[in-house]
Every structure is written in C-alpha cells, then in structure tokens.
Structure 1
C-alpha cells in the first residue's frame, strides 16, 4: 500500500512536466510564427526601399554626368582665356622691362638726392648753430653793457609815494590800443605797499604819485594821472596797477618763462632793483638763497642781494638773462625792542605765483600774449574797489 502512493506522485510529477514543456513549446511556436511574419514584412519593405534607392541613384548619376559635361565646357573656356592672357603678357613684356628699368633709375636718383639734401641740411644746421652761438655771445656782451642793463633792469622799475611811505613797482606792459587814446600801462607791486600808501585816503584804490626814470637825465620824473589799483591779493602780497600815459613806456620788464623758472637754482646770480629809502631805482647783486621759505602758508624765495625799506614791490631779475623772476616783498628783522633789519635776507614772491594770480584775475595776456588780448581781458578784470586796510 505504501508503494502505490509514491508511484502515483511520480506519475503526477511526470505529467505535470509534460504539460509545462508543452506550454513552453506552444509559446515558442507562437513567437517564432510572429517573428516569421515580421521578417516577411521587413523583407517586403526592404525590397520597396531598394527599388526607390535604385531610382534615386540613377537620377543622381544622370545629374553627375550633366555636371561633368558643364565642367568640361568651363575648362575649355578657362584654357582659352589663359591662352589670351599669355599673348597679352608676351605683347607687353618689352614695356614692363622698360618700366622696371625706369623705376630703378628713378629710385637711384631719388636716393642720391636724399643723401645730398641730408648732407646739406646737416651742414646748414651746424652753420646755423655756430651763428646762433655767435649771436648769443654778441647779445650777451651787449646786454652786459651799462646802458643795456639800465634799459632792461633799471628803467622798468617805478617809484610809488604817498602817506609818508615809499615803495616800488615794475612795468610789465605799455601799449596804445588805438589812435588818440592814452597808452594803457600795467605795473606789478607789493600789496602792502599799496595798503600803506593809500591808508586813510578817500579812494583806497588810487595812488597819486608815481615816478618813472628819465633816461635823458637819469632822474625820477612824476607822471600826471597817478595809478589805479585794479587787482590785488593780500595772501601772496601782490597787486596790479593800471596807468594811462601819453606815450607807451618803452622800457618793459621781460618775464622769465615757466621753463626758465624751473631751471632756477640756489646760487644763481640775481639783481634786486627797487627804491630803498626813497631813492631812485638802485641795483644790488646777489644770489638765490632759498626757494622754500614759508610765511603764513605761502611760499617765498630768498635772495642775499641787499634790500631795504622801499625795495618792496620792486623786481628781482636773473643776472644772466635780465628776466624778471619775482616781486620783492619782505626783509628779515631780529630783536623785539628795536628790531634790526637783515638786508641780505630778502623775500620775494616768485613769478610762478604771480603768473597764476594774473591768470585767475583775467590778466593772463600780460604773461602770455597768446592767451588773449588786453581788450578782451580788461572787460573781466576786477576794478580793485574792495581794497581794505
């Protein structure tokens, strides 16, 4: 009894395996059938594509053949044009050779002329330099003559008087603007000179007594009309005077250029020209001692050329060129009870400061004629009516 159930189980197991195998075989058969039909359909599509591709290839081959024909015709045309070009080149070969020869000769001639011109220019430059040096030597000799020194340094300096005070000024411009008009003349001076001369006056901008040097007598002579204070700056101790003269004053101080001022150094020789103690303009010689003396925040230069009361407002000139480099302002003193003057320690306003002030006041034309004209500048210049003591 026990062996039968075991056998039945085996038979059932085997039958189950047969059923499963049959199911798998059936599934595989169905998939194979589907694949067969799909392959058949793909083969049909491929056949159709091949037919279309063959037609397209035939069409492209026809177009390619046509293009080759056109290319052959174009090549024939190019060959013909090349042959024509070679004929033209052969025809103008002689002319081209002539042009090359002419160009070569022209270049050679041009090179020769350029070399000659450079040689001549070099020789002319050397000659001009020698002439310039010789002229400078002659001018230097002439400028060192007493007469010429007076004209350049003494006669431009004027004397200012009033209220028991005396000071100096320097004429920097004098010209007649139109016929039948007075010669408008400008002079630089020190502000404190103007302030002391006009103290207590009804018109604090008017200096009644102005004296010029008479070249014929070598003495001071007064002018009629006096001088008007038209601009001033207390901080830097500078002021501008305007006068109307019957004739232009021929002796004008020449201002040093900015480049010359930059080259000025300590030990450079100078002349200080002014009217000390009411004298006519007197020269004293010395050197630049300092270029960095600060007084009340302003920069002054110092000279050891002796100066005294009355020199204020006068000029400081370079000894070598005779050009104005500043306006005398102060001198050192020591002692409280009875101060003693140190005449060889004089301070002056450097021209760079004066030039900057003139430009700000509308008088740039006085230090640089190219900036403007006196007529144009006079309209914007201050009238000096704000002078205070």
Structure 2
C-alpha cells in the first residue's frame, strides 16, 4: 500500500518545498477573524521522546531537555528555558504492550518548564514505559491569518486553569456528567462538519486516568468537542485534562516554521479529507493501513524533518485507549508510524478511532 501511495503522490510533489505556505493558506474558505500577526505563537514550547533510558535526539527539542526517573513509572521532564504561565502538556505511551501515560502536573521551575509524567499498565499499576510528550504555551491576540489553533487546561468542574484561542475569543468548558465535558472554541471557524484534529490528556497526580475525544463538530461558529475521561477500571472519572485543537497549524500552534506537520483522524476508517492534512503535500495525503487487529500503520509523506514529535489520542464513545507500539521513523522524506496500537480497558487489541498528529520543529 505504501509503494502505491508513493506512486500516487509523485504527481503531487509540486506542493512541496516553497509551495508549503500556499498549502497552509489553501482551503481556508472562511476569512480569518483576526488581522495580521500580533504575537508569536507559541510563547514557549518543547517536546521529548523518551526511549526508556534516555531522550532521543531526533524526537527532542530543546536538545538539552532531560528526563529523570523518579520511581517506577514516574518521570520528571525538564524543558530548559521554556518556563511559561499556563499552557498544556500532552503525552503518549510508546509501548508494544497496553500502557497509557498521563500528566501529574506541570509548570515553571525557575527559567525551565517542568512536567511530571506517570505511566500505567492495564489494571492501573505504575509501570516503566517509553513515551512522547509535548508542552506549549501561547498568549496574545489573533496570532496568524493561517489556520486555527486553541487549547484548554480544565479543572474537573470545567473551570479553566489556562486557555488560548487564535481568534482572540474565550474558550469554555462545561461539565455535563461524570467524566464528560463539552468544550467550545468560539471563533475558530471552519467549513464543517468536521475539520482539523485534536489531542487530549488527563492531568491527575493521584489517580490513574486517561482522556479521549468522544465526539466533535466544526462550523462557522467554531469547534465543539466532547471529552470523556476514565479511571483504570474503565469507569467515567472527573479529572483535570488538557485539550488542543489544530487546523492547518502545528500541534504547538506555530506555523512556517514549522513547515513540516500533519494530522489524521482514523474514525475508523479514515475521516474526511478535512481531518487529513499534510503541510507539504496537502489535504488527504496521509495514509493508514492495517498492521493487524488494533494496529495501524500511518504514513506522513514529505514530513521527515527532525527533530519531530508524534502524539496520539483515542477517539470514540467507549473507554478504549491508544498509544504507539514503537518509535516513529523516517523513510526517505516520509514519517512512518508503525504502529498506532489501541486496546480495550482489559488490554485486548481493538480496532477503534484515534487522532494522530506529527509535528517538526523545522
């Protein structure tokens, strides 16, 4: 399937190189709610790929980012020089066995940003695992006429710890039931019915927790997202969580650079082209193929520009969760994720929905 896709894409290489910014601007049927750039986005950001013993240079920025093992399954990540008020952290387990990772807490530590991360195996016991994590913090008014971007860090009640909206509007979170929230990103207008991508992560220092995107819709009014969170037993859980929305922008909000980023929604099967974006090749260019039950091989053509980061969030109404079975790699100019792995609450492999986002520093 990969070779067939490469052949199909060969005729579309005119998107690459200097045309990348044209791709970012293409398809924006809705006029930007903001004007010219008023502030750089993000204020600070960093990402890290921890292989279980050391940060991997090709997946880490700033290069001096460190990971310290605090105890079994617990880690302290230091993003040097990236201290910022507010922001969000997302983390994805990288493990062939069913594991998930969550954020315990994050915030400034002197001039650095510190994130505490815990990883669990099925049943809720702390366990060592590789992981991929990203931090970003943004502020200011409308930041760019290209794409849409927003995030929330929400308390269980729906009260916002921090938030950002590239249209300059105020995001809201409503607690609708145990373990369920309705998040609105007003002003982040797209044609609909579903456009862009999302990532969500549980923030809980005491209880094993994981969050996912249960449903979402796009419109000229903005984005409406239903987030669901669960405990280790698969029961709905009220917890703090982070959620990031991206539409033709990187997961950390910046644009050009990075010129190399993309996202994909596996519903399953593939979502609409508006949820399959590649900054170098255009909408609908990324591909997915089955690697077996619960395993999905994802290819992002022309996006290999390390250091880069990949994050995954499960999508759907159940308590299933997803991660990465191994570290993504670069094949020529392409980013290859082999594989996204998804599991039931009991740890059985399952074909279920997920959102995946690949983002370079460059």
Higher fraction of strand? 2
How does the TM-score come out when normalised to structure 2?
0.26
Name which structure has the greater RCO, CA cutoff 8 Å, separation 6+: 2
Q: Greater CA radius of gyration, 1 or 2?
A: 1
How does the TM-score come out when normalised to structure 1?
0.24
Higher fraction of helix? 1
